[in-house]
């Protein structure tokens, strides 16, 4: 069962002792709530009803473009690619990242010092907290948010300051809450998971200005920047002075349907990246060169590839919203991402609604409370499923809601 207040249930995960008194796990693990997506996996494994329609996890169902796979196969034939990669990534990949950032965002990057390849952006963000935060530091995190923004600072011994993300403020944090609070790091994620909201450049200007005045660092998780439905979302680094205090994360998982390949990157402030590399040098040896070479091709043709993927998600979104309109369920359309962030019908508790929906209709979505206390009363549907499943899911939702 998913926990209704996950951030306060750490005591349920204390390691048992052997008869000899040996503790199996470090005490820091007691600070962690159950991991939402692991719990969703358990719900799927235990489900025994009709064919499950899974809208729970943001796991792209589409394959990468054939040419990306072909470049990976070509890279496999190079003997040097079967040796250890270097820590910061291949220079050809970092050069292409810099070219793409210049073309897409107008941001100049030094590929030697201001770009680092990652084994997925999640890995990089997790290690960033260890690199720059510790006991006595405070990390400001939006709520609702992707769980690692709250969990990994706790593992590093830092404290969390919650910034509510509410619909009335377009799911942007109130930056005035950071004045005089002595935080070490502000964690941002725009376009946002789970809400689908985007941050305007003016908001980033306020963030950078406040970071300089208050003396804190910033990161933005920008992995959904290419899945948008109106104007292209900006980069935090477009703001003058941003590189003095900030880095930005990106990933090839969503943009190019390469989620299982585990390739991402971080760009921006060279000192922050240098600190992150010191952690990575002690825990991994960088992404596989074959994947990086395929990534070069993907980034070279990013505009064309991303456009095709956007069109698919846009069509899926139209199917979904046409269906919920017939259900008289008013849901705010996302500006970006492949998620739909919806208030529960009749104000029902999100955990209760998700459990009943799975049990009675065979439809799985993510309860908003799994993303934090301000996600209570919301549901997240991920449109990373075929059109047929979206249509079938709407039919099941209709039958389910007619009995509510």
**Do both 26 and 159 map to the same domain?**
no
Q: How many domains does the chain have?
A: 2
**Do both 22 and 143 map to the same domain?**
no
The reported pLDDT for the residue numbered 89 is: 97
**Do both 212 and 260 map to the same domain?**
yes
- pLDDT tens digits, residue range 53-80? 999 989 999 999 999 999 999 999 999 9
In a domain, 1, yes or no: no
In a domain, 97, yes or no: yes
In a domain, 145, yes or no: yes
**Do both 253 and 293 map to the same domain?**
yes
The reported pLDDT for the residue numbered 5 is: 43
**Do both 40 and 83 map to the same domain?**
no
Q: For the chain, what is the total number of helices (H) and then of strands (E)?
A: 12, 12
Which has the closest alpha carbon to 88: 267, 258, 301?
Answer: 267
**Do both 229 and 105 map to the same domain?**
yes
**Do both 161 and 261 map to the same domain?**
yes
Rg of the chain on CA atoms, in Å:
21
Which has the closest alpha carbon to 140: 188, 176, 192?
Answer: 188
**Environment class of residue 162 by beta-carbon count within 10 Å: exposed (0-12), middle (13-18) or buried (19+)?**
middle
Q: Can you give the CATH number for the domain in which 364 is found?
A: 3.90.1150.10
Which has the closest alpha carbon to 188: 212, 207, 166, 202?
Answer: 207
In a domain, 78, yes or no: yes
For the chain, the 3-state helix, strand and coil shares in percent, each to the nearest 5, are: 50, 15, 40
In a domain, 75, yes or no: yes
The reported pLDDT for the residue numbered 23 is: 63
Handedness of CA 128, 133, 135, 136 (dihedral sign): negative
> Given 257, 277, 302, which residue is the final one in a domain?
302
Q: What is the H or E stretch that residue 208 is in?
A: helix 201-214
Residue 276 CB contacts under 8 Å (≥ 6 apart), including other chains: 116, 124, 127, 128, 131, 132, 266
- pLDDT tens digits, residue range 243-277? 999 999 999 999 999 999 999 999 999 999 999 99
Residue 364 CB contacts under 8 Å (≥ 6 apart), including other chains: 40, 43, 44, 47, 52, 53, 54, 55, 56, 354, 357, 358
The reported pLDDT for the residue numbered 30 is: 78
**Do both 268 and 332 map to the same domain?**
no
Q: Please give the residue range of the domain that contains residue 358.
A: 6-63+304-402
The reported pLDDT for the residue numbered 12 is: 42
- pLDDT tens digits, residue range 314-369? 999 999 999 998 888 989 999 999 999 999 988 888 888 988 899 899 999 999 99
The reported pLDDT for the residue numbered 26 is: 76
Query: Is residue 15's pLDDT more than 60?
Result: no
Pairing relationship of beta strands 159-164 and 217-221 according to DSSP bridges: unpaired
CB 149 within 8 A of CB 187: yes
In a domain, 111, yes or no: yes
**Do both 108 and 198 map to the same domain?**
yes
Q: Can you give the CATH number for the domain in which 198 is found?
A: 3.40.640.10
> Given 269, 302, 335, which residue is the final one in a domain?
302
Cα–Cα distance measured from residue 168 to residue 154, given in angstroms and rounded to the nearest whole number: 29
Handedness of CA 62, 219, 189, 127 (dihedral sign): positive
The reported pLDDT for the residue numbered 19 is: 58
**Do both 50 and 89 map to the same domain?**
no
CB 115 within 8 A of CB 97: yes
**Do both 152 and 82 map to the same domain?**
yes
pTM listed for this prediction: 0.91
Give the least confident one: 80-84, 178-182, 324-328, 373-377. Answer: 324-328
Q: How far is CA 351 from CA 46, 93, 357, 368, in A?
A: 17, 43, 10, 8
Residue 193 CB contacts under 8 Å (≥ 6 apart), including other chains: 58, 145, 146, 224, 337, 339
Residues of the chain with pLDDT > 70: what percent?
Answer: 93
In a domain, 275, yes or no: yes
Give the least confident one: 107-111, 201-205, 288-292, 344-348. Answer: 344-348
Please tell me what DSSP assigns to residue 258.
-
Look up residue 182 and give its two tokens.
Answer: 């002595």
pLDDT band at 196 (very low <50, low <70, confident <90, very high): very high
> Given 274, 302, 330, which residue is the final one in a domain?
302
**Do both 37 and 127 map to the same domain?**
no
Cα–Cα distance measured from residue 346 to residue 7, given in angstroms and rounded to the nearest whole number: 25
Which has the closest alpha carbon to 296: 142, 148, 106, 97?
Answer: 97
In a domain, 141, yes or no: yes
């Amino acid at each position: 069962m998913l926990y209704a207040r996950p951030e306060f249930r750490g005591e349920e995960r204390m390691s048992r002792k052997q008869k000899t008194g040996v503790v199996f796990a470090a005490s820091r693990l007691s600070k962690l709530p159950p991991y939402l997506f692991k719990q969703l996996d358990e719900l799927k494994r235990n489900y025994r009803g009709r064919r499950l329609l899974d809208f729970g996890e943001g796991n792209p169902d589409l394959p990468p473009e054939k040419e990306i796979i072909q470049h990976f196969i070509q890279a496999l034939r190079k003997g040097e690619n079967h040796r250890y990669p270097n820590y910061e990534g291949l220079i050809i990949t970092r050069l292409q990242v810099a070219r793409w950032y210049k073309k897409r965002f107008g941001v100049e990057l030094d590929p030697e010092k201001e770009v680092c390849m990652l084994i997925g952006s999640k890995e990089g963000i997790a290690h960033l907290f260890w690199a720059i935060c510790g006991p006595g530091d405070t990390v400001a995190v939006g709520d609702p948010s992707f769980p690692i923004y709250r969990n990994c600072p706790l593992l590093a011994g830092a404290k969390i300051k919650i910034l509510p993300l509410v619909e009335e403020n377009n799911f942007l944090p109130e930056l005035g809450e950071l004045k005089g609070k002595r935080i070490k790091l502000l964690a941002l994620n725009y376009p946002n998971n789970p809400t689908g909201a985007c941050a305007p450049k003016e908001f980033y200007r306020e963030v950078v200005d406040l970071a300089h005045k208050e003396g804190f660092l910033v990161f933005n998780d920008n992995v959904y920047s290419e899945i948008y439905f109106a104007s292209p979302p900006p980069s935090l680094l477009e703001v003058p002075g941003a590189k003095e205090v900030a880095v930005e994360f990106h990933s090839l998982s969503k943009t190019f349907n390469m989620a299982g390949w585990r390739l991402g990157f971080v760009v921006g402030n060279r000192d922050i990246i240098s600190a992150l590399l010191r952690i990575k040098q002690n825990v991994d040896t960088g992404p596989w060169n074959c994947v990086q070479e395929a990534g070069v091709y993907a980034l070279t043709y990013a505009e064309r590839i991303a456009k095709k993927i956007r069109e698919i998600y846009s069509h899926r979104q139209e199917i979904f919203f046409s269906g919920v309109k017939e259900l008289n369920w008013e849901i705010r359309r996302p500006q970006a991402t492949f998620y739909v962030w919806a208030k529960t019908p009749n104000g029902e508790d999100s955990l209760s609604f998700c459990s009943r929906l799975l049990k009675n209709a065979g439809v799985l979505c993510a309860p908003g409370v799994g993303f934090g206390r301000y996600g209570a009363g919301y549901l997240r549907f991920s449109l990373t499923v075929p059109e047929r499943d979206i249509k079938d899911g709407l039919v099941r939702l209709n039958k389910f809601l007619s009995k509510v």
